[in-house]
Structure 1
């Protein structure tokens, strides 16, 4: 499922609240251990969170994941890198992740890093589909040229 948030919208999570600095769209795929966020400039082009399979509450109003702190970031110049490996390593110990969870998180991180590096090779949502969805939300923002 694709979700969107416009610039300036109040956002909240279990970590607190903030005002969104830029428009973004997020894909919460079924059955996968990641979410992918595509941001309007000046944000990163793609931000992939390695997490548990996204789950909606019964009313479909709250999306829940456990974020493993491993993130794959692709900048607008195409450079990609893994963020917060140190936090993942610390949390493996402090939260006592089962070995299969750690292995799945690392496997998902490696896959998403490779997909992010291959922009344009047809690996979606990393190739181009995110640009379509981001374009739709940009067209509906006040002051945009639709």
Structure 2
């Protein structure tokens, strides 16, 4: 069955383009909307040259939550990469959100950590994040650290959606 293609667009708080790429719209479940990319999919950071990602992955766009979650296929050493973002918004065949710097990462060896706190602090000043954005970003990071560390759904096992792109 062929999948519809969607555009995934991450921006920075000032509206500038961050990571963006096409993805396959795989489906929806109780956790949100799932998209996927096969190995070799091209993505771009801003206006930099495209890069080909060597591994397949799926991205979960939850409803009404300040984050997205990327689940990598093996042998990628990063199992889960959660971006703290504004709530993803769907407009036709595009999903867009603002990347708020903080990342919750689980490596395949079991290490789990919060990344880019320095960037979050720097961008609070540079982009003048409102207090509610800072509070929501921190709350989402705290929630994700607990959920990813606790292996709670959807972070308990590789999602079934990966089967569509590997």
Q: TM-score range by the shorter chain?
A: 0.7 to 0.9
Deviations 1:44-98 (A, max 9, x none): 11000000000122x22x2111000100000112210011000000000111111
Within a 5 Å distance, the mapping from 1:28-107 to structure 2 comes to 28-40=61-73, 41-57=75-91, 59-60=92-93, 62-107=94-139
Q: How many residues align?
A: 132
More strand by share: 2
CA contact (8 A) 1:50 1:67 kept: yes
Unaligned runs of 5+ in 2: 1-32
> Which one has a larger percent helix, Structure 1 or Structure 2?
1
Which ranges of structure 1 fall in alignment gaps of 5 or more residues?
139-146
> Normalization by structure 1: what TM-score?
0.84
Rounded to whole Å, the distance in 2 between the matches of 1:136 and 1:6 is 9
